Every structure is written in structure tokens, then in C-alpha cells.
A and B are shown apart, each in its own frame.
Chain A
Amino acid sequence: MTLGLHLGVLALLGGLQLVLPPFHHGMLARIMVLAAYAAGYNLLLGYAGLMSLGHAMFFAAGMYGTGLTIHYLGVGVITGFLLGVVAGLAVAAAVGLITLRTAGPAFLIVTMMLAQAFYLATLYFNEITGGDQGFILSGLHLDLAGRRLPLADPAVKYNVALVVFAACLLLNFWIVRSPAGRILLALRENEERTRLLGYNTPRYRLFAVTVSGLVAAVAGSAYTLLFSYVGSTFAGILYSIYPLLWALLGGAGTILGPLVGTLVMTYLVDVASSLTTGYLIVVGATLVVTILWVPAGIVGGIRARWAPWLP
């Protein structure tokens, strides 16, 4: 039944493309990629209980791993995607090892410092990366079953975004209900107890950071492919704060929370930025309101009140 609900949400997203006007169609494609990013983030925050402020480096590792290899080496879309994922995996595993002995605020600060170093590196090597100007990829095609699909085509874009989001959501769903998911939750609740139940807790920590970073890199790589752009903005602190915000707003530790949070926040920012240039105030205010009045987030609140079976 719970799997049915999640498949139903994916089917709804698939169906929406038939009825949405072009603006919202494009918007939702972008939201789905960012929601995949938020889902990766939520795996660490919501299930393993680790708050990172450095996920932009994983997202950007996917982005640069894909963008640079396509731009400079001329590899195809699929190869570029895989190289982005490998780059993200390597960065995530390294960060996981470096932060193994940190918890709570220390973890937050160390991930933030590492991400900042990554960000500065993208600026420092601006001859290669294009710095904050970035660079544009053009004419990206996906060769699928003998057909050549331009990624700039809205329908292709939407459906690739949907596939990426669906893969991340289902991976998340599967991990959370697997024995490993129960161990991650146990880590969040009581690390020492978990050790004394015979679990090598550092190993599960490393697993959580690596998978979370991997999903973020998948999203980053997909973002580059679908929106044909690479730039250091996506490695900056704001892109580390966003997934935290999306996950908290939607509900940390819920599977649908990241989608709901990303959806609400992206539309909110869109409306706010058409009214004022200070739209970051809206972002900040939403965070404050969420933490004060709906600490469990939207989906978390629904779960607490009406649907305790929601994973």
C-alpha cells in the first residue's frame, strides 16, 4: 500500500505533463531534479540524523564531472552522466571518511568548510570551470533505442527529470525499508546503543554519507544535462542551504517530504522574486516559520496527525 502511494505520486507527475501549460511544465521538470537532490540530502538528515551544510559540493561534483567531460573531452551524454556520478561518489566517500569522527555541530561545520573549499576551487580554476560565469553546453542529445532525443526539447526534459526523480525516490524508499534503513534510524536515535547491538556504526555512517552524496551528484549531473549549464553558483553555500530547507519544509525523515518541500519553496521563491529582489528574505522567513510552527514539516505533520504508516 505504501509502495502504491509512492508509485501513484510518480504516475501523477507523469500525467501532469499532458495538462500543464508550458511555464509550469518547465518549472516542474526543474523541481523534480531539485527534489531528487533534496531526497539525497534527506537520506542523511532525516534518516541518519546528520545535518550537512556542504551538499552543494556533491551536487556540483556531479555537475562538473558531467559538464567538464562533455565540454572538454566531447564524451556523450550517458558517459558524461556516469562520469559525473563517479566524481560525486569519490567526493562523497572522501568527505564521509574525513567526517567520520564528527557529529552534530562539528559535522555541520566540517562539511561547510569542505564545501567552501570546493567552491573556492571552482573559482580559482576559472580558466577551466568558467568560474561564476560558468559555461553553456549546447546541442545535447540522448541516443535512445536508435532515436536521437534533444534534451532541450521540453517533453524530453520533463521525462528525463521524471526518470531521475523516480529512481532517487525508489532508491530512498527501498533503503529506508531495508535492514540498512533501520540501522540508519537507529544511529540517529542512539549511536552507543547501536554499537552495543553489534553494528559497526562508523561503517553505516560512511554508507549514509556516500549514498546521500551520490544521489545529490546524480541530481547535479542531470541538472547540467537538462539545463545545459555549468557554473560555480551551484557549488555555493546557498545550494547547500536549499536542500536543508526543502527537506525541513516538506518533512525530514519522510520519503515524499523532499518533493513537497521543493515544490512549495520553488513556487514561493518564484512568486516572491517577481515581487521583490529580496526574495531570500522569503526563504529565511519560511525556514523560521517551519521550525517554529511545523517542526516535522508538511508531510511529517500529516504523518503525525493522520497517517502514522507513512515511511
Chain B
Amino acid sequence: MTALLETKAISKRFGGLEAVSGVDLRLERGEVRALIGPNGAGKTTLVSLISGRLSPTSGRVLFAGRDVTSLRAWDRVGLGIVYTFQVTSIYRGFSVYDNVALAAQRRRLRALADWIALDRQAVARDVEAALATVGLWALRDQPARALAYGHQRLLEVAMALALRPELLILDEPSQGLAAAEIDGLCGLVRDIARAATVLVIEHNMAVVLELAGRVTVMDQGRIIAEGTPREIEAHAEVQKAYLGR
């Protein structure tokens, strides 16, 4: 069976620094994969190459068997590759509702007629579903800038959900959240994983152990290990590079 996502010897160079070098990553449809590694390992850069936010220096990206290397980010979103930012990136001046509506209307704008008379009820249903899933429906009329930090992270997830991802990439979603919020996030990701493949960059090992079926470890732009969470915990090189033991 073809993998949902494959990168083939993908590399990204920033000046003299090779942030990602020759990475082969393979995700099966339906799995939850954790991507871990020390700061600066190249995790964000790697997923940026997958989402099309950055273009690679060399190598290829295949999605559902199709070569998407030359597709721009907006076309990859159309295929179902959706990225949530490590540094919260929402429309601070928009209401919570409008943030999600902007994402939701994307799928509804197919023909010229949709531009002239958008099916606003369909968009509203999608917005409500996404906001209800993350638990922000009650705050829909608030301006996004007024949300607490944890809620801003959830809004980002709601925007991603409204795009109906096939592959959802979460970049350090638990960063800066309180313990109770992290529990909620884990439940949310498990929910999402029933309909989408999830690639989650995560520092919190408890979260990784709870969510991921498999774990990929990066260091200095390369994949240094891959396996089940238990295997990774026991892996000597990982402990040296990452867990610091």
C-alpha cells in the first residue's frame, strides 16, 4: 500500500547551515506520529517542507503517491495537508468565529457562483462543528486577541479542523499550556486522529507516550531513530541526544 506521506532524501539549506539533510520520512494513513528532538534539530523546517511553507533545496515530497514537491502551499492545503504554527498565528483582529470561517469557506469556494453567493449556512455549520470540537463555541464573538493563550492555541487547531485535513501537522501544540489544558489537548488529538493522520511535534514525553503509535527522533537535521514510544525511550542514542541521560 502507498504511504500517505513520504519524503525522499529531502534537504533544506539556510546559507551555511543544513537544517534538514536527506530525510526519508514515511507516514501510513491513520497513524499518529510524534516527531521529537532537541531545539534546532530541524523539526519545524522538516514539516515546513511538507506543508509547502518552505521549498526544499533538494529531495521530493510524495502525498498519497503523488509528487507534490512543486505544488505551492495553498494547493497542498487543497489536497488535505494542513499545518498549525508553532508560534500561534491567528488573525488577532478578527472574531473567533471569523478566524474559523476564513478556514471553513476555503472548501466552499469552488465555482464562480460560490464567490457571488457563498453558502453561508454550510460555512456556519462547519464553523460551529470545529469550534464545538475544541470547546470554543461559547467564545465565538470574542476578538481573537482577547483570548487566553491556551485558547489561542485551540483556535489554531479549530482553524485546521475546519479545513478538513487528511494530514494534520501540529507543531508543539502543548507548548505553554497548563497541565489541565494538556489533558484536554490529548483528548482532542485522539478525536481528530479518528478522521485524519496526525504528525505532531512534541517535547512533552508524557504526551508523546499517550498519543503516538510511533515516534521519529531528529537531531541535527537527520532522523536518528524511529520506533514505538517504548523502544524510543530505551534507545541509547536518543537518551544521549535528547533526553540528556
Contact = CB atoms under 8 A, between A and B. Distances in A.
A179 B72 contact: no
A199 to B, nearest CB: 6
A179 B105 contact: yes
B5 to A, nearest CB: 17
Interface stretch (B58-66, B83-91, B202-210, B219-227): B83-91
B101 interface: yes
B211 interface: no
B77 A186 contact: no
Contacts of A185: 91, 93-94
Interface in A55-109: none
B73 A189 contact: no
A178 B109 CA distance: 11
B193 interface: no
Contact of B103 (A189, A190, A192, A197): A197
Interface string A195-223: 11111110000000000000000000000
A180 B91 CA distance: 16
B72 A182 contact: no
B91 to A, nearest CB: 5
Contacts of A195: 53, 72-74
B235 interface: no
Contacts of B103: 197-198
A196 B90 contact: no
A183 interface: yes
Contacts of A190: 89-91
A24 interface: no
Given A179-B114, A179-B115, A198-B163, A192 B53 contact: yes
A198 B53 contact: no
B157 to A, nearest CB: 13
Interface in B76-121: 77-78, 83, 85, 89-94, 98, 101-103, 105-106, 108-109, 114-116, 118
Given A179-B115, A196-B53, A196-B83, A189 B77 contact: no
B174 interface: no
Interface residues on A, range: 10 to 19
Interface string B21-46: 00000000000000000000000000
Majority-rule SS of B interface residues: helix
Pick from A183, A199, A200 the residue with the most CB of B within 10 Å: A199
A149 to B, nearest CB: 33
Contacts of A196: 51, 53, 73-74, 77, 83, 85, 89
A199 B106 CA distance: 7
A174 B74 CA distance: 25
Contacts of B109: 179
A189 B105 contact: no
B72 A200 contact: yes
Contact of A180 (B83, B85, B115): B115
A179 B118 contact: yes
A278 to B, nearest CB: 39
Given A179-B114, A182-B98, A182-B101, A198 B106 contact: yes
A194 B73 CA distance: 10
Nearest to B48: A196
Nearest to A203: B74
Contacts of B90: 190, 193
Contacts of B85: 193, 196
Given A198-B77, A200-B74, A189 B114 contact: no
Given A179-B118, A200-B72, A189 B93 contact: yes
Nearest to B89: A193
Contact of A178 (B72, B118, B159): B118
Contacts of B106: 197-199
B89 A198 contact: no
Nearest to A183: B102
15 contacts: A178-B115, A179-B115, A179-B118, A180-B115, A183-B102, A185-B91, A185-B94, A186-B91, A189-B91, A195-B72, A196-B74, A196-B85, A197-B102, A197-B103, A200-B75
Interface of A: 178-180, 182-183, 185-186, 189-190, 192-201
Given A182-B101, A196-B85, 12 more contacts: A179-B105, A179-B118, A180-B115, A185-B94, A193-B89, A195-B72, A196-B53, A196-B83, A197-B103, A198-B77, A198-B163, A199-B106
